[in-house]
Structure 1
Amino acid sequence: MKKGLLAVLCLVSAAGCSTQGQIDPDIMQIATTPLTCSTKAECDIWWQRAQTWVAGHSKYKIESATDTLIQAAGPDGGKRALAYQITRTANPDGTATIGFAAHCDGSMGCKPNPWEAGADFKEYVRGSAAGAPQSGEKQLQPAPTAMHPEASGQSMPGTSGEAVTQ
């Protein structure tokens, strides 16, 4: 009887692990779609929303907030909490791309899932998420701090912690 129970528990445990890394294709689509604003006014609004989102979702303190970088401290000491790095890069055509990177230091994976966090971030910044401020609402102003020297690109870790480039 104990061997049968042990076998069932092992199968249930293995089944739980095998589905843990699957991401909803709709979430993946939102998370990997570039976040490109068209005008300076739109880019400024989106950048303010980006800082508001990080301030409301990060377990770590924002250590840098400039016109081109929003970076939270962390990750740290094996914690599953995500550390965020948001970049704003001007494009030659006058648009700008807002990059999202999230990573953790937990051996059991990140919480929340980085892909879901990325999708939520992008919907919020675009103003399509519930609770996203509209263009007339008051928003946080970025605090002046030094820019991080490695503030380029868009990446997000995969389900096992490795970086995934968007």
Structure 2
Amino acid sequence: MKQSLLAALSIAMAAAVAAMACSTQGQVDPDVMQIATTPLTCSNKAECDLWWQRAQTWVTNNSKYKVESATDTLIQTAGPDGGKRALAYQITRTANPDGTATIGFAAHCDGSLGCTPNPWEAGADFKQYVRGTAAGAQKPAVKPPQPAPTAMHPDALQGQSVTPTTGEAVSQ
């Protein structure tokens, strides 16, 4: 009887700790949110082509799923697989009448405990990389090649593993 009471208390304490963790993990840094929600619009064909190439590189390097489609207007991965927290991506390129184009980002998972990485963090990282403002983004060569800084390590390109409270899809 004493053991079953201890087991019940242990389960209740574990549930309380998990609930507290979930309540703080659903928050997204306002700076990350601003980057993730700012439209990604390139200004001319050359820039749009470069950004689209970067978009495909980012998805290839950051997705746990295989890229299933890569055309001039769509980059899409497989997934999400049932119950998995890994993000599946769908990137679109829509031409605007003024010669610009808008690159759309959508990420979703099927995990009941949320996604890894956080979709907002992934969206912000994606947009910074595509714009060429993130560590490791390919920028036009203007200076002679220099040794790569330590921030260029592949792990530096990964999104944070902050878990939101839901497994809902995020489109930006």
The equivalences for 1:1-166 within 5 A come to 11-136=16-141, 160-166=166-172
Q: What is the distance in 2 between the residues matched to 1:22 and 1:95?
A: 33
TM-score (norm 2): 0.76
- For structure 1, the 5+ residue unaligned runs are 137-157
Give the match's secondary structure for 1:122.
Answer: helix
Counterparts of 1:10 and 1:68, CA distance in 2: 45
Q: Give, as a single letter, the amino acid of the residue that structure 2 aligns with 1:37.
A: C
Q: Distance in 2 between matches of 1:108 and 1:11?
A: 15
Aligned-pair CA distance for 1:17? 1.4
Q: Give unmatched runs, 5+ long, in structure 2.
A: 1-5, 142-163
Q: Deviations over 1:58-103 (max 9, x none)?
A: 0111000000000001101211000000000001111000000000
Aligned CA RMSD, in angstroms, stands at 2.3
Which protein has the larger Cα radius of gyration, Structure 1 or Structure 2?
A: 2
AA aligned to 1:117 is A
Q: In 1, Cα distance between the equivalents of 2:59 and 2:15?
A: 39
Would you tell me which structure has more helix in proportion to its own residues? Answer: 2
Residues 45 and 135 of structure 1 are in contact (CA less than 8 Å); yes or no, is this contact kept in structure 2? Answer: no
Identity rate of aligned residues, in percent?
78
Name the SS of the counterpart of 1:13 in structure 2. helix
TM-score under structure 1 normalisation?
A: 0.79
| Deviation at residue 20 of structure 1 after TM alignment | 1.1
Kindly provide the amino acid, as one letter, of the partner of residue 16 in structure 1.
A
